[in-house]
Amino acid sequence: MPSLLGRGVLALTERAPVRRLFTESRPGRALARRFVAGETLDEAMAVAEGLNARGARVSLDHLGEHVTDRSLALVARDDYLACLDRVGTAGLRANISVKLTQLGLGLDDDLAAESLATLARRAGEAGTSVSVDMEESRHTEATIEIYAALQAEFGNLGLAIQSYLRRTPTDLDRLTGLGGHLRLCKGAYQEPPDLAFTRKADVDAAYDRAAQLLMGVEGVMPAIATHDTDRIDLVKRLAPHRTAYYEFQMLYGVRPTLQDELLGSGYPLRIYVPYGSAWYPYLTRRLAERPANVAFFLRAALDGGRS
């Protein structure tokens, strides 16, 4: 959940002139390149290969969300199929992460479910899995329902869960029996206080309770998705007692030194690698998490980097 300042950043970045400033200026695109592997699948593959070579697993996210047209939802599905084929051919240690609104959720939920099923089948053929991102709370219930049905059918899916949501403990009761990989994150969207904790201390405490639960359950693969060292240290303390698999997960470009430290110490780490031309909404969430990033951008923009 963004801080008060982060919420201000989100509101600002929704304005058209600010969007243009980021997307049409050299400093804006340079900032995006810190968090996004590139605009093409080739660029994403090159980054994924480099990360694999350093010992990290990868989750590839072809950026896009909230499609407004069925044909765009099908294009997104096909882009992911091409990505899975490349992962299989190259033998990468990589899966894909998808947003169901990119596959049509909210527009045509059946289409989104069919496309996710197609991706799960192809991922199985490529020897890998599909992670489902969690988006705004208005999509949580439908996302869980689609995930639960398809995980029961294919068995190679995973789902993100957000510790800031008050409903998450109840969702975990439902989800832990389904196997799969459950990616625990804090939550990146602006949500109302009746649905989500707004105080960082409450979000962190909820995160720790969920992490403790996940690390103690057999049959699911906990994915601890955070750059917060207090949360990571808790899981490190729990890890020796866990016999089955788990992994840490971090975002491409965020705390790279911490990523190297985890890898250097032999911890399993997966890096979430976004790519594609629809990077603006993703970038705004990264800016809202750390408003200092905006200051770097403004300084560069004022230095005259507009192109």
Ligand X SMILES: Cc1cc2nc3c(=O)[nH]c(=O)nc-3n(C[C@H](O)[C@H](O)[C@H](O)COP(=O)(O)OP(=O)(O)OC[C@H]3O[C@@H](n4cnc5c(N)ncnc54)[C@H](O)[C@@H]3O)c2cc1C
Of the residues 61, 79, 133, 171, only one is catalytic, namely 133
Q: Does 293 bind ligand X (CB under 6 A)?
A: yes
Cβ at position 112, least distance to ligand X in Å: 15
Asked about 79 being catalytic, the answer comes back as: no
The residue (of 126 and 203) whose beta carbon lies closer to ligand X is 203
Cβ at position 71, least distance to ligand X in Å: 25
Q: Does 290 bind ligand X (CB under 6 A)?
A: yes
Q: Does 294 bind ligand X (CB under 6 A)?
A: no
Asked about 133 being catalytic, the answer comes back as: yes
Residues 222-251 that bind ligand X (CB under 6 A): 225-228, 249-251
Cβ at position 134, least distance to ligand X in Å: 4
The residue (of 70 and 130) whose beta carbon lies closer to ligand X is 130
Binding-site residue total for ligand X (CB under 6 A)? 24
Report the C-alpha gap between 221 and 224 in whole angstroms: 10
Rg (CA), the chain: 19
The site string for ligand X over 162-201 (x = CB under 6 A, - otherwise) reads: x--------------------x-xxxxx------------
Residues that bind ligand X (CB under 6 A): 133-134, 160, 162, 183, 185-189, 225-228, 249-251, 254-255, 272, 286, 289-290, 293
- Catalytic residue positions, numbered: 133, 183
